[in-house]
Amino acid sequence: MDDQLLKKRILELRKRAEFSYRTEFTDFLTLSEIDTAKTVLAGSNHCFYGGLADTERLMLCIAPEDITITPELFPICGIRIVPKHVKFAGDFSHRDVLGSVLGLGLERDVIGDIFIKDKEAYLLCSERIAVFLTEQLTQIRHTNVVCNIETADNSEFTKEFQVISRTVSAIRLDSVAAAAFGVSRSSVATAISGGKLFINGKEILSAATQVKEQDVISFRGLGKAKLKEIGSLTKKGRIAITIERYQ
């Protein structure tokens, strides 16, 4: 969604929450949209949540001042997707699951994060389309599947990370991305020129762009990584960093 349209939409929801005394929700927002939303939320009672800890796509809740926002308030469902016949099931990826779901005619913003584990998948979605998914999602690639609604907060499915500790000369995109993805800084610069590097969902045009703690770097073709922590200077004047690379 365009930044200005999103800001207008959120201000409308905020006004409703304040003057109609009701809790309002968006659909799932991208990292870039979350950053935009935060610019107009100062002073409001709000919370972002995606159905599990450390999810990337989040719903926004805006509530009257005296309401405590808890995860249970969010209209999010979890859908467990399992092969109908495990013996004949093929492997499928995040992209396979998402493609099959969007192929049903659904919009991307009603779908949250997707987790893959062995030959199963777990998908977070808006409550209003959960039943539709269980009835209509019957195949992923060449595998017949069965879908069941579960509680969204299913700790069995969590993001898995490779923890990487490195030192860099500066907290710039080229240095941090090179450390995270095991490539050269010149390769990062080439990728930036080709429109393949993003921070929190926004395309980055400069290798010198500063990276902050908790920023998520997306490198098209190589995956995603989060700058988890910026540490202290080493004796050689380099900066210690900790990165979580998505598995």
The pair phi, psi for residue 24, each rounded to 5°, is: -120, 150
* 229-247 average pLDDT score: 91
Residue 155: the pLDDT is: 60
At 199, list the tokens: 């921070």
Residue 54: the pLDDT is: 78
Assigned fold of 3-73: Ribosomal Protein S8; Chain: A, domain 1 (3.30.1370)
Average pLDDT, the chain: 91
Q: Choose which CATH entry (3.10.129.10, 3.30.70.330, 3.40.720.10, 3.40.190.10) describes domain 76-150.
A: 3.30.70.330
* CA 64 distance to own-chain centroid: 26
Local confidence band at 41 (pLDDT 50, 70, 90 cut-offs): very high
Q: What counts of helices (H) and strands (E) characterise the chain?
A: 6, 14
Give, to the nearest 10 degrees, the angle between helix 3-19 and helix 31-38: 60
Q: Is the pLDDT of residue 164 over 70?
A: yes
Query: How do the domains of the chain map onto residue ranges?
Result: 3-73, 76-150, 161-246
Residue 153: the pLDDT is: 67
List, in order, residues 6 or more apart from 76 with CB less than 8 Å away. Answer: 49, 50, 51, 59, 112, 124, 125, 126, 127, 152
Considering the entire predicted model, what is its pTM? 0.79
Local confidence band at 141 (pLDDT 50, 70, 90 cut-offs): confident
Query: Radius of gyration of the chain from Cα atoms?
Result: 20
Residue among 223, 219, 193 nearest 206 (CA):
193
Q: Choose which CATH entry (3.90.1010.10, 3.40.50.800, 3.90.1150.200, 3.10.290.10) describes domain 161-246.
A: 3.10.290.10
The pair phi, psi for residue 79, each rounded to 5°, is: -120, 115
> 24 - beta bridge partners?
62
Residue 152: the pLDDT is: 67
Q: Which residue has the higher pLDDT, 86 or 83?
A: 83
Local confidence band at 247 (pLDDT 50, 70, 90 cut-offs): low
Q: Is the pLDDT of residue 6 over 90?
A: yes
- Max Cα–Cα distance, the chain, nearest Å: 60
For the segment 89-102, what is each residue's pLDDT rounded down to a tens digit? Answer: 778 888 899 999 99
Helix (H, G, I), strand (E, B) or coil at 206: coil
* 66-71 average pLDDT score: 94
Question: Does this chain's domain 3-73 share its CATH topology with 76-150?
Answer: no
Local confidence band at 171 (pLDDT 50, 70, 90 cut-offs): very high
d(CA 158, CA 130): 20
For the segment 181-237, what is each residue's pLDDT rounded down to a tens digit? Answer: 999 999 999 999 999 999 988 889 999 999 999 999 999 888 889 999 999 999 999
Residue 200: the pLDDT is: 86
What b/e string do you get for 155-165 counting C-beta neighbours within 10 Å, with b at 16 or more? eebebebeebe
For the segment 148-161, what is each residue's pLDDT rounded down to a tens digit? Answer: 998 766 666 667 77
* 127-152 average pLDDT score: 92
